[in-house]
Amino acid sequence: MDGETPPAVVIFWHNRLLAGTIFYLRYFRKRRLATLISASKDGAWLAGFVEKLGVRPVRGSRFNRGAQALRDMIAASSEGFDIGVSPDGSRGPLYDMKPGALKVALKTGAPIILLSLNHTGAWRLKTWDRFYIPHPFSKIEARMDVVALDEVSGLEVEEATAILKARMDAITVDLF
């Protein structure tokens, strides 16, 4: 992905949010990212943090401001931003693919990039998602899978979401 490629919807699991954001900012410097962050009070600090990194926060979740967040993500995509979504956030369950990212892709015509960052060494927090914090100098393997819209556009939302989940599961490794 470079500055010439049209916007995409980038999907990564919630417990890999830290590595996913850093990976994106490091390897796709010429692109702009808008990412979905919970509209909860807990999400406010994260929104402020990612904004300092140059990422546009889009506030909302299926529990709060969901419809507005969908509209905001579509607007950001039309402005040239890639859209980052953790489909199992903000409350889980872990590795559950909710259809929001798919809906954004279908509305905008953006391709879907599945991104999994698999750690060789990391601390795991005692949170619902067993959040990863990489050990210093550990290796993180990046695996990507690009899903063209014609692969999912004619399907029911549930079926298309199940395909995305299966493909995401195929590139995700939990070593511990």
pTM of the model: 0.91
pLDDT at 125 over 80: yes
pLDDT, tens only, 50-107: 999 999 999 987 667 778 888 999 999 999 999 999 999 888 899 999 999 999 999 9
State percent of the chain over pLDDT 90: 74
Q: What does pLDDT average to over the chain? A: 91
On the 0-12 / 13-18 / 19+ scale of CB atoms within 10 A, 107 is middle
49, 59, 38, 64: which is closest to 129 by C-alpha?
A: 38
Q: Which residues contact 30 (CB under 8 A, 6 or more apart)?
A: 2, 3
Highest mean pLDDT among 14-23, 84-93, 152-161: 152-161
pLDDT at 2 over 70: no
CB 101 within 8 A of CB 14: no
Q: H-helix or E-strand containing 149?
A: none
The total of other beta-carbon atoms located within 10 Å of residue 97's CB is: 22
Mode of pairing for the β-strands spanning 140-147 and 112-119: antiparallel
- Rounded Cα distance between 172 and 159, Å, is 20
